Structure 1
Amino acid sequence: MTAVFSSEWLKLRSVASTYHAMATAALPIVLGIVWTLYATGLADERGSVRAAAPEQGFLPLLQMSLAVLGVLTITSEYATGTIRTSLVAVPKRGTLLLAKSGVVGLTMFLAAHVILFVTHATSRLMAGDRYLGFNEASFADELPMLLASGLSATALALVGLGLGAVIRSTAGAIVSVIALLFVLPGIAVYLPPPWNTRVSTLLLPNLVPQIADERLSSRLGDGFLPPWAALALLFAYPVVTLAIGSYTLRRRDA
């Protein structure tokens, strides 16, 4: 099993798409600096502003970038035909997907949290003693949201891997991730009450504040899951997707 993990790690770090996706995922750091400069300029003029925290405002970019990388981890092998070589080296297809999941999960977990913490730290250092709204709370108070955000990005990367195993098409899997991350939450808001609240609380993007023990937007009413339930549901997304992907991988020809 160790050899399979090592092989998958070698694959991940030897293709250009990994570095392109990681560079895109790291953009929140740069955008956070630009946003903080803009907010501090407004604060110098007005005395204070209420700006969104950059690590939260640019979280969808991080989530989408890592999800795309999760998709490419397997669909690129189908596109190039190297999946056949992989299956010859690792005849147990479930083991192959498990190794990919381990490598993707660990890499994305570390990358997501490094990016989020660096974005958080640079924006607060640049803000200084100016009142920008997002620098009111202490680091301890914001830590649950940072950790939940990193876990959500990791979960989406694994969901992307699972969808890639099921659909086998890079475009199709990415469109599915976009639907999960952006389209479904937008549709859920317009469902009749109380279904808008019930559905919205269960969607992956809305689990982050619930894991951090914060209520959702007031437009969704009082829908709220306890942190342990939201965390369990977050884990369920990649587990279910990867289980379907593993079943599909075993049943189909490469």
Structure 2
Amino acid sequence: MPDTPGRGAPGGLAGAIACEWTKLWSVRAPWLCLLAGLAITGVFTYYYASISRINDDPIQPVGNAAASSAVLVQFAVVVLAMVTVTSEYSTGSVRASLLWVPRRHRVQTAKALVAAVVAFVAGTAFAAVGTAVAWPAFDGRASFEVGPSLRQVLAVGLYQASVAVLTVGVAFATRHPAGALSFLVTLLWALPSVLLGLGGPALAEVNDHLPHGSGDHFMRIGADAPHAPVTAFLIVAAWAVATHLIGLYVLRRRDA
């Protein structure tokens, strides 16, 4: 079913976004993902701060605990963004979506924007909660400044929004939850873990150009980062744009 000029949901992109917003909150999966992300944030940030206190680590910004939790919390965002695409392919309802909005780029853009907005709001909320939970657990082994802490909260939100856009692109490219999740777990967690585990400056540099490696430098404060925060975020954004374009290519080339 190719793109059909002159047809589409009422209101163009705005109408498509409204449709995707309604579909997202009509099922339980997003709520479960958000609750899981909140729970993971609370447990991980408390653990991170406690270990830092026990090991008598150097004093660091309290927001680093929330930034570190993103390595796990991002998968709550991954699942939330992924099901907006793969659930429709699993049930066949994607055909109805493409009949309602025949311009395929508009369907993908609407899903990516909705997922990104939810991920940004959730990410900032998770980071704020994580900062609050970590502060007493650090027990004096962390510093708190309003400006840097706010920047970290927003940085976590922006990173999670980028992960959501990246996920939507991968989901459209694979069209299957197992395939999408396998690729994303490898890209966002397994490959970085292997590269850092093997060690060496060359492998560390490769990791610094992967989504989470760059995102970690963007979200943290005080670490020895190879990139400026803006550069680190642009690397993450480039990954999100690349996967979005790949997903759009597959969406346009293959039948629903």
Short-chain TM bin: 0.7 to 0.9
Structure 1 CA distance for aligned equivalents of residues 107 and 143 of structure 2: 46
Please state how far the C-alpha of 1:102 moved relative to its aligned partner.
1.0
Q: How does 1:45-194 map to 2 (within 5 A)?
A: 49-50=56-57, 54-124=65-135, 126-127=136-137, 130-131=139-140, 133=141, 135-189=142-196, 193-194=200-201
Please state how far the C-alpha of 1:145 moved relative to its aligned partner.
3.1
Structure 2 CA distance for aligned equivalents of residues 229 and 188 of structure 1: 21
Structure 1 CA distance for aligned equivalents of residues 41 and 194 of structure 2: 30
Q: Which residue of 1 aligns with 2:4?
A: none
Q: How does 1:30-45 map to 2 (within 5 A)?
A: 30-31=42-43, 35=47, 39=50
**Range with bigger deviation, 61-70 or 147-156:** 147-156
Please state how far the C-alpha of 1:34 moved relative to its aligned partner.
5.4
Find out whether 1:20 has 2:27 as its counterpart. no
Please state how far the C-alpha of 1:122 moved relative to its aligned partner.
3.7
Aligned 8 A contact 1:215 1:224 in 2: no
> Over aligned residue pairs, what C-alpha RMSD do you find?
2.9
Distance 1:117 1:163, change over 3 A: same
For 1:55-101, what per-residue CA distance to the aligned partner results, in whole angstroms no more than 9, with x for missing partners?
A: 13422221111011111110000001100000110111111101111
Which SS does the other structure have where 2:143 is aligned?
coil
Structure 2 CA distance for aligned equivalents of residues 29 and 191 of structure 1: 28
Amino acid at match of 2:243: T
Which SS does the other structure have where 1:26 is aligned?
helix
Please state how far the C-alpha of 1:241 moved relative to its aligned partner.
0.4
Distance 1:216 1:118, change over 3 A: closer
Q: Which residue of 1 aligns with 2:236?
A: 234
Structure 2 CA distance for aligned equivalents of residues 31 and 213 of structure 1: 19
Distance 1:117 1:240, change over 3 A: same
Aligned 8 A contact 1:164 1:173 in 2: yes
**Range with bigger deviation, 197-206 or 236-245:** 197-206
Residue identity over aligned pairs, in percent, reads 27
Amino acid at match of 1:2: A
Aligned 8 A contact 2:208 2:226 in 1: yes
Structure 2 CA distance for aligned equivalents of residues 84 and 177 of structure 1: 25
Which SS does the other structure have where 1:58 is aligned?
helix
Question: Aligned pairs, how many?
Answer: 240
Distance 1:142 1:34, change over 3 A: closer
Please state how far the C-alpha of 1:24 moved relative to its aligned partner.
0.9
Return the TM-score normalized by structure 2.
Answer: 0.82
Aligned 8 A contact 1:162 1:245 in 2: yes
* Structure 2 residue ranges without an equivalent (≥5): 1-12
